[in-house]
């Protein structure tokens, strides 16, 4: 059992100090006054009365020294973290670790206001759910921009030209001609000026007169008819990413599945973040030591990136729907890369990607070590450390 001195109180939040450490607790009951001494034991505070307590944060000697040395910093931390809520603690500890006291003391109230407005946007917002629904033309442009072009030996241009040389088009317009061929094809193909669609034992060939399409193969999941073909030519279909596959949807049904790599390719947003967030990022960096830089990209779900220049270390905190908060502690020394991952939930599922990720990293010349930890870096030392 240890004796701590009360150095701050904010509503039901109590700040204690002992041996150059700072403990932040939330308690139910009568809050001791600043300057009083209390005893702490597990989840209890003992004054003249036993009070239940909840650990919010602990600042070790290094961080506590900054707090003692910088008037107003403790109150500022309370204000920008909605009373030391858990989701802010990682940011607070990194901020206190790298803040330059002199710079903080010179910050204006207007800049403090901007920072208070910034944190909820940066640390609480999940990544935008990017649209995975395209028109047919948009989908072809998307493939062209994000996937490398390939060629296929299955059907070459000469074979296609011979196949349609003596045939009459069954549909024709200023944009395309449509032929029905006896040419067998197990898979559909999009390439250049042509689309081949397996169709009731035959093959439908669409020849575009003005477009050059990227290569992509596909399989037909449902029997198709002429009404589908007319909808297809008019663009009355959509392409959607459903789970791990890209499907062409017609009348609510998945009728075609495209063969594309199972990779989540994120379209480039027009703006990586709204301007108020970026203003705050620059303000935060103005307060930090030059050896570390901070970045936040809420539109990607990346709430925190801390880059420690001297040690080639980066810490990324990402908000996801499936895994919750994910933290990656990355350390690079020459070609040796070490990454420690923590996921708020579904850690085992996340670790299944380790082999593939390691191969990708080694393919670019890095010797990678990946670790997956159940220890939540957002939860710091508990009461047991003080009993």
pLDDT in tens, 178-216: 888 877 777 888 888 888 888 877 888 888 888 888 888
Instruction: Please indicate, yes or no, if residue 239 is contained in any of the structural domains.
Output: yes
- Asked if residue 298 belongs to a domain, the reply is no
pLDDT given at position 50: 79
What is the C-alpha separation between 183 and 23, in angstroms, rounded?
A: 76
Query: SS3 string of the chain?
Result: CEEEEEEEEECCEEEEEECCEEEEEEECCCCCCCCCEEEEECCEEECCCEEEEEEEEEECHHHHHHHHHCCCHHHHHHHHCCCCCHHHHHHHHHHHHHECHHHHHCCCHHHHHHHHHHHHHHHHCCCCCCCCEEEHHHHHHHHHHHCCCCCCCCCCHHHHHHHHCCCCCCEECCCEEEEEECCCCCCEEEEECEEEEEECCEEEEEEECCCCEEEEEEEECCCCCHHHHHHHHHCCCEEEEECCEEEEEECCEEEEEECCCCCCCCCCCCCCCCHHHHHHHHHHHHHECCCEEEEEEHHHCEEEEEEEHHHCEEEEEEECCCCCEEEEEEEEECCEEEEEEEECCCHHHHHCCHHHHHHHHHHCCCEEEEEEECCCCCCCCCHHHHC
Q: What integer pLDDT is reported at residue 152 of this predicted model?
A: 52
Task: Tell me: pLDDT of 155 over 70.
Answer: no
More confident residue, 376 or 316: 316
Tell me the per-residue pLDDT of 320-345, one tens digit each, with 9 for 90 and over. Answer: 777 888 889 999 888 899 999 988 88
pLDDT at residue 148 above 80? Answer: no
Q: In whole angstroms, what is the distance from residue 189 CA to residue 210 CA? A: 18
CA distances from 216 to 143, 176, 192, 259, 299 (A): 8, 19, 10, 7, 30
Examine the domain organization and report whether 38 and 143 are in the same domain. no
Q: In this structure, is residue 194 part of a structural domain?
A: yes
> What is the spatial distance between Cα 296 and Cα 302, in angstroms, rounded to a whole number?
6
- Residue range of the domain that includes 179: 133-258
pLDDT for residue 44 = 77
As a whole number of angstroms, the distance between CA 259 and CA 243 comes to: 14
Shared-domain flag, residues 250 and 142:
yes
pLDDT at 248: 92
pLDDT at residue 41 above 80? no
- Looking at every residue in the chain, the average pLDDT score rounds to 81
What pTM, to 2 d.p., does this model score?
A: 0.60
Say if 214 falls within a structural domain.
yes
Q: What is the pLDDT of residue 1?
A: 58
368's CB contacts (< 8 A; 6+ apart) are 337, 338, 339, 357, 358, 361, 362
Q: Give φ, ψ of 117 to 5 degrees.
A: -75, -25
Is residue 296 domain-resident? no
Which of 137-141, 197-201, 266-270 shows the highest mean pLDDT? 137-141
State mean pLDDT over 359-387: 70
For the chain, what percent of residues have pLDDT higher than 90? Answer: 15
On whether the CB atoms of residues 2 and 39 are closer than 8 A, the answer is yes
Boundary-marking domain end, from 258, 277, 311: 258
Res. 289: pLDDT tops 90: yes
Of 246-255, 257-266, 369-378, the poorest mean pLDDT is in 257-266
pLDDT at 303: 85
My answer on whether 52 and 154 are in the same domain is no
Instruction: Give me the count of residues in the chain.
Output: 387
Instruction: Check whether residue 46 and residue 137 sit in a common domain.
Output: no
Give how many domains the chain has, as a whole number.
Answer: 2
Q: Give 261's pLDDT tier (boundaries 50, 70, 90).
A: low
Domain final position from 258, 279, 307: 258
What is d(CA 180, CA 168) in angstroms, rounded to the nearest whole number?
A: 9
Q: How confident is the model at residue 54 (pLDDT cuts 50, 70, 90)?
A: confident
Quick: pLDDT tens for 71-102: 999 999 999 888 888 888 888 989 999 999 99
Residue 178 lies in a domain: yes
How far apart (Å, rounded) are the C-alpha atoms in residues 253 and 224?
11
Does pLDDT of 173 surpass 60? yes
In this structure, the answer to whether residues 140 and 27 fall within a common structural domain is no
Residue 36 makes CB contacts below 8 A (sequence gap 6+) with 5, 6, 47
Tell which wins on pLDDT, 155 or 146. 146
> How confident is the model over 97-133, as pLDDT tens digits?
999 999 999 999 998 888 888 887 777 666 544 456 8
| pLDDT beyond 60 at 269 | no
- Sheet (strand 313-319) strand order: 292-297, 302-308, 313-319, 325-333, 336-343, 367-373
In a domain, 223, yes or no: yes
User: What is the pLDDT at residue 127?
Assistant: 53
How many beta carbons lie within 10 A of that of residue 28, not counting itself? 10
Residue 185 lies in a domain: yes
**Residue 154, pLDDT score:** 58
**With 60 as the cut, is the pLDDT of residue 375 above it?**
yes
User: Does residue 43 have a pLDDT over 50?
Assistant: yes
Model confidence band, residue 376 (pLDDT cutoffs 50, 70, 90): low
User: Where a domain ends, among 201, 224, 258?
Assistant: 258
């Amino acid at each position: 059992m240890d004796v701590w001195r009360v150095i701050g109180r904010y509503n039901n939040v109590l700040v204690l100090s002992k041996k150059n450490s700072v403990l932040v607790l939330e308690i139910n009951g009568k809050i001791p006054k600043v300057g009083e001494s209390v005893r702490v034991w597990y989840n209890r505070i003992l004054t003249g009365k036993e009070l239940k307590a909840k650990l919010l944060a602990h600042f070790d000697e290094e961080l506590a020294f900054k707090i003692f040395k910088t008037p107003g910093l403790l109150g500022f931390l309370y204000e920008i973290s909605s009373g030391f809520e858990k989701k802010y603690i990682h940011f607070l500890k990194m901020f206190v670790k790298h803040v330059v006291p002199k710079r903080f003391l010179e910050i204006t109230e207007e800049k403090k206001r901007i920072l208070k407005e910034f944190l909820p946007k940066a640390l609480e917002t999940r990544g935008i759910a990017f649209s995975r629904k395209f028109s047919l033309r948009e989908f072809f442009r998307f493939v062209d921009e994000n996937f490398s072009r390939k060629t296929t030996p299955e059907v070459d241009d000469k074979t296609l030209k011979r196949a349609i040389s003596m045939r009459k088009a069954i549909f024709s317009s200023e944009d395309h001609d449509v032929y029905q061929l006896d040419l067998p094809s197990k898979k559909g193909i999009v390439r250049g000026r042509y689309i081949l669609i397996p169709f009731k034992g035959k093959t439908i060939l669409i020849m575009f007169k003005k477009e050059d399409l990227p290569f992509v193969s596909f399989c037909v999941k449902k029997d198709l008819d002429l009404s589908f073909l007319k909808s297809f030519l008019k663009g009355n279909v959509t392409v959607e990413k459903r789970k791990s596959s890209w499907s062409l949807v017609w009348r609510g049904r998945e009728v075609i599945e495209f063969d594309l790599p199972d990779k989540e390719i994120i379209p480039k947003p027009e703006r990586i973040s709204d301007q108020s967030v970026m203003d705050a990022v620059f303000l935060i960096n103005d307060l930090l030591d030059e050896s570390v830089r901070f970045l936040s990209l809420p539109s990607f779900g990346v709430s925190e990136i801390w880059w420690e220049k001297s040690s080639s270390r980066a810490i990324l905190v990402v908000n996801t729907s499936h895994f919750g908060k994910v933290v990656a502690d990355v350390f690079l020394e020459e070609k040796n890369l070490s990454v420690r991952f923590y996921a708020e939930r579904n850690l085992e599922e996340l670790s299944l990607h380790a082999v593939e990720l390691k191969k990708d990293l080694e393919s670019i010349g890095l010797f990678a070590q990946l670790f997956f930890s159940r220890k939540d870096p957002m939860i710091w030392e508990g009461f047991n450390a003080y009993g």
